[in-house]
Amino acid sequence: MNRRDALSRVALLVGGSVIGAELFLNGCKTPDKKAVAGLTFTQDDIAFLNEMGETILPATSTPGAKEAKVGEFMTVFVNDCYEEKDQKIFHEGLLKLDEASKKKNSKSFMESTAEQRHDLLVDLDKEAKDYQKNKKDGDPTHYFTMMKQLTLMGFFTSEPGATKALRYVAIPGRYEGCIPYKKGDKAWAT
């Protein structure tokens, strides 16, 4: 039995109609997925995004972006939350990043060494910041800015990021507005 049938039967049992039932039921409908033609992510794209994320947030004494599966997170977020124009920018950005790697290192991003990847992303980050400074209203966001933001969000909202890279208390106690900070302490997960 689905929710619509259940609510209808409950309404009949209580002798009337449930006020606002149609609005309530509209919230239960699965939205139509309008896949943007040709903009699907492959397993290679996910692996590429994981490697790019791992270059931004490498594993150290804490897990890296790859362990947090930021590539999978980015694909879901881009498909479900980005507008079509931003989806296109993101997808084209994958190709641009790889082209930039071929231009700088004479090999694809996936074939490059960790140091070459790092140097490339530092250059792209500088390019994105310069673009942001000179950006006019209505100009799209730089593709690398999108990728970097999604990497950070995907990592710090993941279980490994929130529990191993940040301080995490599953069931916090009372609120303390002023806690002494010691240099080197991890930030708190929320």
pTM over 0.85: no
pLDDT at 21: 47
pLDDT of residue 43: 95
Q: Which amino acid is at 121?
A: L
Residue 56 and residue 70: Cα distance in Å, rounded? 11
- Rounded CA gap, 92 and 44, in Å? 15
Q: How far is CA 71 from CA 17, 49, 80, in A?
A: 46, 5, 14
> Per-residue pLDDT tens for 88-101?
999 999 999 999 99
pLDDT higher than threshold 60 for residue 35: no
pLDDT at 19 over 80: no
Neighbours of 118 (CB within 10 A): 14
For the chain, the average pLDDT equals 83
Residue 140 has pLDDT above 50, yes or no: yes
Q: Quick: pLDDT tens for 41-93.
A: 999 999 999 999 999 999 998 899 999 999 999 999 999 999 999 999 999 99
